[in-house]
């Protein structure tokens, strides 16, 4: 009774419980994988961890209880990871710039927007992953076919947010800026663009995530390097542990990117009110 | 030419087409309103009577269906470049600090940044916000935002100041403080002011002249009253003087009926 009261979940030991859930999950998984047939499909957490070690660290491990064959310290994932991240950043950058430009243009030109409206809706509704083979034909198996695929994912997120952002500029703010003497270019720079960027930032988590997804899916469908390529190779040889290791690495980096975006967002969006914000005097 | 008018609205009619092709709505009908240079004119009227419409016409933001606007004798084309407009609702850019907001108009005019910054700082100090330049609008109270907006408008030194119920969202104490501040700033520069309000007390306490508008639709001026209270005035104290009460009774006699009419019409609209 007293023991339960000590370890009862509460805000203080939340972290402990979170780690506990993970350990229980890994333990059950490891237990299940003692069955050789199940292990073929499910993989083994220890082997997954060993795979991640070999990928990232240059130190070999001698054979021991956990790893009867020992571990080689290859440190050979960086080339692949670098490729995937490069594709992600390129796609995110290009997609954002294109989305921003097109969004601003269409939002400020009602005629163009009215004409192109059905096509934009159609392009957005299209399952764009299907474009991957076409991009592979156009841009080859290098990074650019992956960048192109990810750009199509990022573009629409940014585009719709910018479009919305410009449309939602308060008419009073706009009239005020005009009465203060803003010409069309100054309006764009001081009113439309900041308003649109605010919306872009609010969608940054989604768009960075999608850039990453686009890059990995592109690699998975045909490439010569990248984390998606590693996963594809492992699947080809039924090496389920490596597939899981790839998934773990991708998840970790997706979380890392998300955290990075959160930091940038907080720094650039400090003008936006947050709930219950008080200021130190 | 000493008796020159800063702003003349001559025979203004504003008819709005109803969305979906219904009957059109005439907000303002054949209204003539003149503001002399250096004069403080208030326009009072029941809610929804088209006061803001008139002000937007004076600013050049709205082109009237009929009638003409003259600014210092010249017919107005496009925006009124000699006017500053203080809006009823929030008009500050939320992504700019108070100081950057006050600088905005100066930057638009191409004033070098350092000079614009110095002038803006000066204006912030004048509205009592010297230490708040680096705050964003959401970090300021409602009264402080209004002061920032006031500084933003006045920093350009406009010859005509248009104000659309600028203090209607403020509590009564802040409001009286702001009214006194505006009067002080106005007395120093003697600009033409066209002040829209639904608060008769505020109108009498601040103005040289009060114009009463009829209830909408097809609003017209119903009466004009010269306010001969001595200046400088303190808006809280002047309310207790016998002359103020006399004027208030006089104007309220005209306004009362219009307010009731306006209220009835709003009820009818809902029904």
The residues facing B14 across adjacent strands are B28
Most A CBs within 10 A among B59, B63, B94, B98, hence the mutation to make, goes to B94
Do A178 and B61 lie within an 8 Å CB cutoff?
A: yes
The residues facing B122 across adjacent strands are none
Nearest-CA distance from A178 to chain B in Å?
Answer: 8
Q: Which chain B residue lies closest to A274 (C-alpha atoms)?
A: B138
Spatial CB neighbours of B42, under 8 Å, sequence gap ≥ 6: B195, B196, B197, B202, B203, B204, B206, B207, B209, B210, B211
Nearest-CA distance from B108 to chain A in Å?
Answer: 5
| pLDDT recorded at residue B2 | 42
Residues of A in contact with B89 (CB under 8 A): 170, 172
Tell me the CA distances in angstroms from B159 to A235, B21, B75, B125, B166, one per residue in order. 76, 40, 16, 21, 18
| pLDDT recorded at residue B117 | 94
| Predicted ipTM of the assembly | 0.86
All residue ranges of chain A with pLDDT < 50 are: 280-281
B59 neighbors B85 (Cβ within 8 angstroms)? yes
Give a yes or no: residue A207 inside a domain.
yes
CB burial of residue A140 (10 Å; 0-12, 13-18, 19+): exposed
Give a yes or no: residue A1 inside a domain.
no
Task: Give me the residue spans of the domains in chain B.
Answer: 5-82+160-270, 87-157
**B79-117 per-position pLDDT tens digit:** 999 999 999 888 999 989 999 999 999 999 999 999 999
Q: Which chain A residue lies closest to B102 (C-alpha atoms)?
A: A180
At A167, which CATH number?
1.10.3720.10
Do A177 and B59 lie within an 8 Å CB cutoff?
A: no
Q: Tens of pLDDT along chain B (271 residues)?
A: 445 889 999 989 988 887 776 778 888 888 899 999 989 999 998 877 788 888 999 999 999 999 999 999 889 988 999 999 999 888 999 989 999 999 999 999 999 999 999 999 999 998 888 889 999 998 888 889 998 999 999 899 899 999 998 888 888 888 888 899 889 888 888 889 999 988 899 999 999 999 998 887 788 888 889 998 888 888 888 988 999 999 999 999 888 888 888 788 778 776 6
Q: Which of B206, B165, B212 is nearest to B44 (CA)?
A: B212
Do B108 and A173 lie within an 8 Å CB cutoff?
A: no
B244 neighbors B229 (Cβ within 8 angstroms)? yes
Residues of B in contact with A190 (CB under 8 A): 93, 96, 104, 107
Q: What is the Cβ-side half-sphere exposure of residue B98, based on CA atoms within 13 angstroms?
A: 29
| pLDDT recorded at residue B3 | 54
B145 neighbors A176 (Cβ within 8 angstroms)? no
**Homologous superfamily of B5-82+160-270:** P-loop containing nucleotide triphosphate hydrolases (3.40.50.300)
Q: Which chain A residue lies closest to B106 (C-alpha atoms)?
A: A180
Q: Which chain B residue lies closest to A180 (C-alpha atoms)?
A: B105
Q: What is the DSSP string of chain B?
A: --S-EEEEEEEEEEEEPPTTS---EEEEEEEEEEEETT-EEEEE--TTSSHHHHHHHHHTSS--SEEEEEETTEEP-SS-TTEEEE-SS--S-TTS-HHHHHHHHHHHTT--HHHHHHHHHHHHHHTT-GGGTT--GGGS-HHHHHHHHHHHHHTT--SEEEEESTTTTS-HHHHHHHHHHHHHHHHHH--EEEEEES-HHHHHHH-SEEEEEPPSSSB-EEEEEE----SS--HHHHTTSHHHHHHHHHHHHHHHHHHHHHHHHHHHHH-
Nearest-angstrom CA–CA distance, B29 and B156:
32
Give a yes or no: residue A31 inside a domain.
no
Domain extent at residue A201: 79-268
Give a yes or no: residue A72 inside a domain.
no
Say how many domains are in chain A.
1
Give a yes or no: residue A140 inside a domain.
yes
């Amino acid at each position: 009774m007293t023991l339960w009261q000590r370890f009862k979940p509460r805000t203080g030991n939340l972290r402990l419980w979170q780690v506990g859930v993970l350990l229980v999950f890994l333990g059950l998984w490891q237990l299940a994988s003692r069955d050789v047939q199940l292990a073929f499909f499910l993989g083994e957490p220890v082997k997954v961890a060993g795979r991640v070690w070999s990928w990232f660290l240059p130190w070999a491990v001698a054979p021991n209880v956990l790893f009867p064959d020992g571990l080689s310290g290859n440190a050979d994932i960086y080339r692949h990871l670098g490729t995937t991240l490069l594709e992600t950043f390129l796609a995110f950058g290009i997609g954002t710039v294109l989305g921003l430009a097109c969004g601003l243009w269409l939002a400020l030109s009602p005629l163009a927007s009215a004409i192109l409206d059905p096509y934009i809706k159609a392009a957005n509704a299209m399952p764009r992953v299907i474009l991957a083979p076409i991009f592979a034909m156009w841009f080859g198996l290098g990074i650019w076919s992956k960048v192109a695929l990810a750009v199509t994912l990022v573009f629409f997120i940014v585009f719709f947010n910018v479009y919305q952002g410009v449309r939602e500029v308060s008419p009073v703010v706009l009239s005020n800026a005009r009465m203060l003497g803003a010409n069309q270019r100054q309006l764009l720079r001081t009113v439309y663009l900041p308003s649109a960027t605010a919306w872009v930032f609010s969608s940054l988590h989604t768009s960075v995530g999608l850039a990453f997804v686009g890059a990995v899916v592109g690699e998975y469908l045909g490439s010569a390097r990248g984390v998606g390529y590693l996963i594809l190779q492992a699947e080809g040889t039924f090496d389920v542990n490596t597939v899981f290791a790839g998934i773990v690495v991708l998840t970790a980096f997706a979380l890392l990117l998300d955290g990075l975006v959160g930091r940038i967002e907080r720094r650039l969006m400090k003008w936006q009110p947050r709930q219950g914000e008080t200021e130190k005097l | 030419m000493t008796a020159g008018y800063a702003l003349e609205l001559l025979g203004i009619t504003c008819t709005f087409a109803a969305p979906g092709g219904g009957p059109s709505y005439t907000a303002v009908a054949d209204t003539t309103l003149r503001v002399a240079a250096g004069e403080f004119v208030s326009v009072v009227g029941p809610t929804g009577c088209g006061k803001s419409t008139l002000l937007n016409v004076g600013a050049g933001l709205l082109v009237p269906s009929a009638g003409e606007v003259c600014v210092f004798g010249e017919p107005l084309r496009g925006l009124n470049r000699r006017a500053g407009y203080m809006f009823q609702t929030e008009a500050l850019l939320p992504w700019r600090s108070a100081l950057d907001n006050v600088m905005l108009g100066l930057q638009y005019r191409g004033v070098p940044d350092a000079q614009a910054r110095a002038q803006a700082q000066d204006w912030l100090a004048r509205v009592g916000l010297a230490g708040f330049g680096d705050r964003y609008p959401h970090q300021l109270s409602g009264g402080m935002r209004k002061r920032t907006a006031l500084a933003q408008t006045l920093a350009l030194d406009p010859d005509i100041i248009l104000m659309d119920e600028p203090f209607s969202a403020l509590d009564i104490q802040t409001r009286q403080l702001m009214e006194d501040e505006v009067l002080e700033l106005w007395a120093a520069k003697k600009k033409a002011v066209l002040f829209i309000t639904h608060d008769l007390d505020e109108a009498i306490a601040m103005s040289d002249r009060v114009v009463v508008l009829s209830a909408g639709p097809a609003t017209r001026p119903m009466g004009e009253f010269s306010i001969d209270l001595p200046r400088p005035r303190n808006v809280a104290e002047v309310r207790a003087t016998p002359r103020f009460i006399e004027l208030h009774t006089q104007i309220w006699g005209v306004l009362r009926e219009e307010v009731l009419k306006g209220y009835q019409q709003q009820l009818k609209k809902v029904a």
